[in-house]
Structure 1
Amino acid sequence: MTHGNGTEVTEFILLGFGAQHRFQHVLFILFLLIYITSMVGNIGMILLIKADSRLQTPMYFFLQHLAFADICYTTAITPKTLQNLISENKSISFIGCVMQAWIYGTFGTNDCYLLAAMAVDRYVAICKPLRYSTVMSHTVCILLVAGSYVIGSINSSVHVGLMFSLTFCKSHNINHFFCDAPPILAISCSDIGMNIILLVVFVGFNLTFTMSVVIFSYIYILASILKVPSTAGRKKAFSTCASHLTAVTIFYGTFFYMYLQPNSNDLQENMKFASVFYGIVIPMLNPLIYSLRNKEVKEALLGIGKKYF
């Protein structure tokens, strides 16, 4: 990246939550508590799944990788955000900005595809129970997870790679609390037409494809549940999907709010807080959702508690 006069850009300034300057220390404490809770919850979820033989199923295999992805993309942005909240120096190096954008984009996209894979898993478990072990074999699960990492990496690499050709004539102040593609493009004086087209195409495809998988999976799941004769049977079948459906609703709802709003300066502050929810809060919520609303996880937690305490 270069300035319009040809000089090389070596760093950016993250403006963060400038309008809320008097609340910076409150935000620091809040974000720190959320980040610690997120790390404890997601690392704990990974260790719990590895330790309990009852959780060695495809659903929890995907959940393990979802927890890992959440750890990666929230760690890419939260520590730097915490530092900037209490420091006068809010700069981030060019390499640091590139890495932050790449990690956030890779594992954020990865989350979309893991949630879609989990929807397919629930569809097969409820609609095709006799074929479950065959369809959702260990090999298939590995391929689905590997595919989510590959797609996430390619998606992020394309956007980050195009940023290297950008020039900045007036400012290198990013009106955000981390390096994301839209606020970086907003301060460039280059022709960003191709960047915007690819951003819309890639984000649009990822959202449309994964959302379609989730929606059609749950249409078939709902149809199968409604055919169950007993109320208790329907309740049991739906309870196996409740945690995943809650996580999907929160994740995609926030994602659509972030990226499908009109590009207006008046909405920049709202976009920042939507990004806070997506990038910092959701990684904390996922392990809570799956531990509080999932019978097997609660039983595994109780088992670990009885064993060691």
Structure 2
Amino acid sequence: MNRENRTSISEFFLLGFSEFPEQQQIIFWLFLCVYLVTMVGNLLILLAIGLDAHLHTPMYFFLANLSFVDICFSSVTIPKMLLNHLLRSKSISYVECMVQIYFFITFINMDGFLLGVMAYDRYMAICRPLHYTTIMCPRFCIILVMISWIITHLHALLHTLLMVQLFFCADNTIPHFFCDPYPILKLSCSDTYINDLMVFTVGGMVFMTPFMCITISYAYIFSKVLKIPSAQGIKKALSTCGSHLTVVSLFYGAIMGIYLRPSSSYSVQDMAATVIFTIITPMLNPFIYSLRNRDIKAALKKIKRELFKDPRITKY
């Protein structure tokens, strides 16, 4: 298509979940509650880990980073949707859309990298316990997280720069509640071969690296666990991995349901799966980790006692 026949649009329109006012009202309050629960739950995890010296270990350091990323991840998509409902608008500017794409790619990949790093941490704790404190030192943990941030930001920058090179014609309606790169590419009237190639190669590598780390780590973990003679020992070893496996299953299961299958259009099922890993998983993470973790529960109870203790009671 010739350049003169192309149109550079200034905004997109997000169709969201429903066009009926009654349903929109229900969805608004539902998403508002989910967002508030996500913020409070993850902030409590951060507070518990930060204030309790017993939780200053590699596992909880990575969990704190995961909670921070989940707060950011939810804040990329939900606030704009809630604001549009209050303003009775469906529009999002081109610049806002590109910014949303950048941070969406950053935080979704950062979630994956942190889950991969946490799987490696569990492998070291169960399969190589004698070397755990030596290898998983604070400096190495910080380096792992920093490398993850650098890779995810560079990956997001690559796809965003390629996205801004595209032209969009008359159709600027996105069948989604945020600027997901997948349906936006389908709206472009430019040649998206390079974008698709980068998604398949670079995106595939960034996606598969933490996933393979998780798979290999748990292959070693399960092979080690099966050699433990006592049932109590097996239960104890698996209890340290149960929460992480639950989060991994939710996160990667939903992503694979969307991006690893051919589709000519973005369906309602795709949107529902996107909601799982962008909204539901960040909300559930604090509950999954706190309900199955005695240390987190003890730290949260300690915070509760400190917050609600009677200030008139003093200790002499």
**TM-score computed with the length of structure 1 as normaliser:** 0.94
Task: Name the SS for the 2:170 alignment partner.
Answer: coil
Match of 1:306 in 2: 305
Structure 2 gaps, min length 5: 309-316
1:51-66 to 2 correspondences below 5 Å: 51-66=51-66
Output the CA distance in 2 between the equivalents of 1:204 and 1:7.
31
**Is the 8 Å Cα contact of residues 98 and 164 (structure 2) preserved in structure 1?**
no
Task: Name the SS for the 2:267 alignment partner.
Answer: helix
1:44-193 to 2 correspondences below 5 Å: 44-193=44-193
**Is the 8 Å Cα contact of residues 25 and 86 (structure 1) preserved in structure 2?**
no
> Judging changes above 3 Å, is the alpha-carbon distance between structure 1 residues 216 and 98 closer, same or farther for their aligned structure 2 residues?
same
**Is the 8 Å Cα contact of residues 13 and 172 (structure 1) preserved in structure 2?**
yes
Output the CA distance in 2 between the equivalents of 1:249 and 1:154.
26
Task: Name the SS for the 1:167 alignment partner.
Answer: coil
Match of 1:257 in 2: 257
Q: Does 1:297 align with 2:296?
A: yes
Output the CA distance in 1 between the equivalents of 2:9 and 2:121.
46
Q: Does 1:235 align with 2:235?
A: yes
Give the paired residue count.
Answer: 307
Structure 1 residue 303 displacement after superposition: 2.4
Task: Name the SS for the 1:50 alignment partner.
Answer: helix
Output the CA distance in 2 between the equivalents of 1:62 and 1:41.
16
**TM-score computed with the length of structure 2 as normaliser:** 0.92
**Is the 8 Å Cα contact of residues 7 and 167 (structure 2) preserved in structure 1?**
no
Match of 2:23 in 1: 23
Aligned amino acid, residue 276 of structure 2: F
Structure 1 residue 86 displacement after superposition: 4.4
Q: Does 1:272 align with 2:264?
A: no
Output the CA distance in 2 between the equivalents of 1:205 and 1:20.
41
Task: Give per-residue Cα distances to partners, 1:270-293, cap 9 Å, x unaligned.
Answer: 111111111111110111111111
Aligned amino acid, residue 291 of structure 1: S
Output the CA distance in 2 between the equivalents of 1:227 and 1:128.
14
> Judging changes above 3 Å, is the alpha-carbon distance between structure 1 residues 14 and 136 closer, same or farther for their aligned structure 2 residues?
same
Task: Name the SS for the 1:92 alignment partner.
Answer: strand
> Judging changes above 3 Å, is the alpha-carbon distance between structure 1 residues 170 and 129 closer, same or farther for their aligned structure 2 residues?
same
Output the CA distance in 2 between the equivalents of 1:4 and 1:272.
34
Q: Indicate the percent of aligned positions where both proteins have the same amino acid.
A: 44
Output the CA distance in 1 between the equivalents of 2:245 and 2:272.
23
Task: Name the SS for the 1:185 alignment partner.
Answer: helix
Task: Give per-residue Cα distances to partners, 1:181-207, cap 9 Å, x unaligned.
Answer: 111111110000111111122332123
Task: Give per-residue Cα distances to partners, 1:18-64, cap 9 Å, x unaligned.
Answer: 46654111111111110000000111111110000111000110011
Aligned amino acid, residue 287 of structure 1: P
Task: Give per-residue Cα distances to partners, 1:246-303, cap 9 Å, x unaligned.
Answer: 11111110110121232233x5211111111111111101111111111211121222
Aligned amino acid, residue 12 of structure 1: F
Task: Name the SS for the 2:120 alignment partner.
Answer: helix
Aligned amino acid, residue 232 of structure 1: Q
Output the CA distance in 1 between the equivalents of 2:69 and 2:193.
30
Match of 1:282 in 2: 281
Match of 1:221 in 2: 221
Aligned amino acid, residue 288 of structure 2: I
**Is the 8 Å Cα contact of residues 116 and 210 (structure 2) preserved in structure 1?**
yes
Aligned amino acid, residue 177 of structure 1: F
> Judging changes above 3 Å, is the alpha-carbon distance between structure 1 residues 186 and 7 closer, same or farther for their aligned structure 2 residues?
closer
**Is the 8 Å Cα contact of residues 109 and 206 (structure 2) preserved in structure 1?**
yes
Task: Give per-residue Cα distances to partners, 1:46-100, cap 9 Å, x unaligned.
Answer: 1110000111000110011111111111101001112234443211111111111
**Is the 8 Å Cα contact of residues 4 and 189 (structure 1) preserved in structure 2?**
no
Deviates more, 1:101-110 or 1:164-173: 164-173
Output the CA distance in 1 between the equivalents of 2:18 and 2:25.
13
Output the CA distance in 1 between the equivalents of 2:4 and 2:221.
55
